[in-house]
Amino acid sequence: MKKIRNLIVACGALISMASCDLDLEPTTGPNSGKVLTAEELKGMRLRLYNDIKAISSGGYLYLTDYFTDLVTETNASGNTGAFFYLWMLYANDQDISSMWNGYYGIIRDANYAIMKMEESQREGVATGAEINMYIGEMKFFRAYTLRQLALRFCEAYDPDKATTQPGIPVPDKYETGSHLERGTLADVYKQIQSDITDAELAVTTAGSANAIYLTADAITAFKAQVALDMHDYPNASKYASSLYASYPLVDSKIALEQMWREDTSTETIFQPEVNTTTLSSVSSMSDYYNGLWNGSKYVTTPYYVLEQHIVDLFSTEDYRMGIYLEYSYVQLSSSQKGNGYLLTKFIGNKFFRSALTQLNYKNMPKVFRVAQMYLIDAEAQYQQNGGGAGPLNTLRQSRGLEPTDATGKDLFDAIKDEYVREMMGEGYRLSDLKRWKETFQRDYQSALRSVVRTRGRDMNPNVNDPKFVWPIPQDEIENNPNFGSQNPGYAQ
């Protein structure tokens, strides 16, 4: 089968990779035997920002969504993403290894940077609050990446079982020749929380909309995500709601369009910078559209199209219609064509285009958005006391929808539906389903019957299917004698 192009690009060209045992030094940058200057440390810092952009775009996002019920594969896919879409993942799959190594490459880069920064401080070559801030940023990036790994390669966090739930290796310092045990999920989140604490002490920059560097508010948004993972609902609600005043929700279609077509919005908490000269630092999201302008409209050849039940969640008054999804013409051949709804959230920043009608499918990655904070707050309130209608309705009304008066299970269903509407395509669907302990049932847009493939349509996994958790790469298990066992459901 054709392998996933964008993921391989992200893991190979954008992130220097090494296996989890950290046998290799970073493949670029100053030699470890040299004490680095402040300017050289600044370069290491920027490298980590590039790493974060890489894992916030392309295959790192869309492969998790292909795995769920968000989209249907088309005959144009060339099997791109098919292993994920069909739940045919194996421990020796190249794409699984690439993602695993890409994430651990970032952790290795962060640990190496921390080591060099602390060394320069001890030697008096580079000192001061700025270097302390750099170290705090590195610890944050390590924590952020560990969570991304856990969301894919571990079960959803269960407070009653976390000390026995299989985790992933947690490298907390740069070492060569190290072979770490996978430990437990409790160990993973303990390290995440420790790194958050250190990052908060060092990164005190006040938050501002569209921040391109890490801020105190971005750390708070991450704390809200982690607290929700850990079922710490009071803190999840507290952290999330504390950001409302500083990042007001937009309340018009024009402003919502600016968020995704110009990368500017009062809602965006943290989005690392991308411009026309640094477009290679992010991967393309073209698989959802692939549009070619024919003089009057775009003729599209998407690899994946939205499923019917996803389209049905949207109504004409929703400001997201025409921005997050659009009614488009699809033509794969003379007999494979039709009009249907495509995911268009990621057709790209219009200022990055080389020509007015030449789409580029690249944006500044929106690592944290306040809209998700409203969803976290709503879910946390519901889990505490059955509430959550307040933050849910505030978000709904900002998107042009009427408030809901739902209560009980109907309210939770409304919260979950809003997660789909607002966050679709941003790589959260799989972790949401795992956290909610829910499965899915696929369908397809009948208007695109001649365009979509028949395979994979009947996917309806059991909610307890162990394959909701992805396999550990076989190379990791074979090369790390201390690692332990493979995840359930996959051959050792």
Distance (Å, whole) CA 357 – CA 291: 9
**Considering only CA atoms, which of 87, 47, 71 is closest in space to residue 427?**
71
pLDDT of residue 24: 40
Question: To which H or E segment does residue 423 belong?
Answer: helix 408-423
Distances (CA, A) of 428 to 354, 456, 459, 478: 31, 20, 19, 30
Q: Is 382 in contact with 287 (CB distance < 8 Å)?
A: no
Distance (Å, whole) CA 28 – CA 37: 16
How would you classify the pairing of strands 325-331 and 304-306? unpaired
DSSP annotation string for 148-179:
HHHHHHSPPP-TTTTTTSB------S--SS--
Q: Is 138 in contact with 46 (CB distance < 8 Å)?
A: no
CA dihedral 286, 290, 295, 296 (to 10 degrees): -90
DSSP annotation string for 334-392:
SSSEEEEEEE-TTS--GGG-SSTT---------SEEHHHHHHHHHHHHHHHHS--HHHH
**Considering only CA atoms, which of 189, 260, 280 is closest in space to residue 426?**
260
Edge to edge, what strands does the sheet with 325-331 contain? 291-293, 298-300, 325-331, 337-343
pLDDT of residue 141: 98
CA dihedral 245, 251, 253, 254 (to 10 degrees): -60
Q: Is 368 in contact with 270 (CB distance < 8 Å)?
A: yes
Distances (CA, A) of 180 to 32, 114, 164, 367: 22, 19, 17, 29
pLDDT of residue 32: 58
Distance (Å, whole) CA 413 – CA 396: 14
DSSP annotation string for 65-94:
HHTTTSEEEBTTSTTTTHHHHTT---TT-H
* Residues 6+ away with beta carbon under 8 Å from 340: 305, 306, 327, 328, 330, 445, 447, 448, 451
Q: Which residue has the tokens 């003379």?
A: 334
Q: Is 346 in contact with 425 (CB distance < 8 Å)?
A: yes
Distance (Å, whole) CA 320 – CA 259: 11
Distance (Å, whole) CA 451 – CA 8: 27
Q: What's the CA angle centered on 259, arms 253 and 261, to 5 degrees?
A: 90
pLDDT of residue 45: 97
Characterize 448-462 residue by residue with b for buried, 16 or more Cβ atoms within 10 angstroms of its Cβ, and e for exposed: beebbbeebeebeee
Q: Residue 300: what residue type?
A: T
pLDDT of residue 96: 96
Q: 176's torsion region: left (phi>0), alpha (psi -120 to 50) or beta?
A: beta
Q: What is the pLDDT along the chain (492 residues), one digit of tens a residue?
A: 444 444 444 443 344 333 343 334 454 445 557 999 999 999 999 999 999 999 999 999 999 999 999 999 999 999 999 999 999 999 999 999 999 999 999 999 999 999 999 999 999 999 899 999 999 999 999 999 999 999 999 999 999 999 999 999 999 999 876 789 999 999 999 999 999 999 999 999 999 999 999 999 999 999 999 999 999 999 999 999 999 999 999 999 999 999 999 999 999 999 999 999 999 999 999 999 999 999 999 999 999 999 999 999 999 999 999 999 999 999 999 999 999 999 999 999 999 999 999 999 999 999 999 999 999 999 999 999 999 999 999 999 999 999 999 999 999 999 999 999 999 999 999 999 999 999 999 999 999 999 999 999 889 999 999 999 999 999 999 999 999 999 999 986
Q: What's the CA angle centered on 162, arms 160 and 168, to 5 degrees?
A: 170
Distance (Å, whole) CA 126 – CA 122: 8
Q: Which residue has the tokens 């490459």?
A: 105
